[in-house]
Every structure is written in structure tokens, then in C-alpha cells.
Amino acid sequence: MITSTSNPRIKQIRALNGRPKERRDAGLFVIEGVRLCEEALAAGFLPEIVLHVEELDPRASALLDAFKAKGVDSEVVTDDVMGAASDTQTPQGILAVLPLRALPRPKQLDFVLVADQVRDPGNLGTLLRSAAAAGVQAVWLHPGTADAYSPKVVRSAMGAHFRLSIEMLGYEDIRRSCTMQGLRLLLAAVGQGDAYDAADLRGPLALVVGSEAEGPGAGLTAAADGFVHIPMPGGFESLNAAVAGSILMFEVVRQRRV
């Protein structure tokens, strides 16, 4: 049992919950709670180690047994140690350290989300969750966007990391990938282009969503094949990135089902 918050493993987890550089250098990230751990297990993402408190509810106990059956190491920790290792105010009593392993990009793409300068972790996590639900095949993050593996993004995404190909790409790589895959680069921009429900979104496309404050950057704006907007008769200037992106992704789903 780990009883000290100074234990090297606990120090490592706290570091992984901190700066992106720590996660990149170690090639690891942290997930917390039964739901996320279940999603990881179902997708075949096995942790390096699972930490848990001694008293677990039946669902968490079954999850722990399933990990052990796969040969995953586990360690019991005290409640205080779990609190120190956790990034949440109310720890659920179980967390896992996973290899930072992204799913490979599908060979043929027809539905990609590009997050450009979406700096808020909660917004990015929600975008990832909506992307997974909408059947997006890949998510490309431009530098300046929040780290996809930060604790808040991972929590908000609710398991999307185990379903999506997620890459960090610069403007040139995004443009080149769109050209090679025959993707139309379509930017969401306030008041520009067609209204989202009038635009033809049935063909292969890469949908670019920028930050609420700044929108997409100049590089992708200049390279865009078209623009689309969400009418707001209530007079608001903009929606946050997560709401706007989710509306647009599910409009793609709707049109492709017709």
C-alpha cells in the first residue's frame, strides 16, 4: 500500500497531471474514474498501472479484476494519497496511467475535425466527445490548441481518446493532408459563407473550428475552400467552440443520412 504523498509513483502522476512536456517526455497520461477506465479497457488501451483505494464499489471492483486478468499491475493507496494524486475535487477512488498512444489515421478520410486555437480544455474535450459521437474519423489540432491529454480535456472527452485518431499538425501539414485526401477545407466563421443548414456538407470535408474569441488563424483562413456559419437570430455575436462545432458536426451527420 502507498501511504505517502512523497512516493515516487505519486510524484510522477502529479507531474503527468501538470505540464504537457511531462506527458510528452514520459509518453504517459492519466485517466480517472470508473467510466474512463472502462472505456480504456473496452478499447484495448491497457494501463501501465492502476491505483485504487482499498474500499471499492462493486463496479470498480469488477473493473479492477478485469485489469488484473489482463496482467495490469495495481497498487492500493490511502484516501489521502488518492486525493493528492487526483486532479479532481472528489476522486472516485481509481485512476490509471496509460501510454500516450494515439490511434492511427485511417487510410481514407471523409470527415475530419480541425481544432484551431481552441485553448479552453473543456471546450476541446467536448469537441472530441462530439466528434467521436458524430463518427468523425480524425481530429487534427493546430499548435496553440489545448493539450489533448491534459486532465480536463481527457475528462470532458469521456473516452473519445480511445475512439479517435488525434494528431497535432501545422497549417502546411493540414493543407497537404486535405489535398492528398481530397477533403474540402471548410471553416466555421461568424457571418461568413452559407448558413450551416443550407451548405452542402455531404462530400469529404475537414471542418475547422476556431476559438470563440479569435476564430481560425490566418493560415487556414487563407487556405479555406469555403466558409459556413450558424445563424443567431437572438443577436448573440458567437457561440463557444464546443457548441458551434457540435452543431456543425451533427449537421454533417444529418445531411449524410438523408
Q: Residue 34: enclosing H or E segment and its boundaries?
A: helix 34-42
Spatial CA neighbour of 244 closest among 258, 231, 235: 231
| CA–CA dist 177, 185 (Å, integer) | 10
Q: What is the mean pLDDT of residues 71-84?
A: 98
Predicted pLDDT of residue 142:
93
Domain topology for 111-257: Alpha/beta knot (3.40.1280)
Residue 1 one-letter amino acid: M
The predicted-structure confidence for 31-59, as pLDDT tens digits, reads as follows 999 999 999 999 999 999 999 999 999 99
The predicted-structure confidence for 11-35, as pLDDT tens digits, reads as follows 999 999 999 999 999 999 999 999 9
Angstrom distances, CA of residue 221 to CA of 68, 121, 161, 176, 244: 49, 23, 27, 15, 17
Share of the chain above pLDDT 70, in %: 100
The predicted-structure confidence for 127-175, as pLDDT tens digits, reads as follows 999 999 999 999 999 989 999 999 999 999 999 999 999 999 999 999 9
Predicted pLDDT of residue 107:
95
1-5, 85-89, 199-203, 210-214: which range is least confident on average?
A: 210-214
**Domain segments of the chain: what residues?**
8-99, 111-257
The predicted-structure confidence for 61-73, as pLDDT tens digits, reads as follows 999 999 999 999 9
Q: Which CATH homologous superfamily contains domain 8-99?
A: Ribosomal protein L30/S12 (3.30.1330.30)
Predicted pLDDT of residue 102:
87
Asked if the model's pLDDT at residue 258 lies above 80, the reply is no
Q: What is the mean pLDDT of residues 215-220?
A: 82
- Using N-to-C axis directions, what is the helix angle for 58-69 and 34-42, rounded to 10°? 30
- Yes or no: say if 51 and 74 are a contact pair by the CB < 8 Å rule: yes
Share of the chain above pLDDT 90, in %: 91
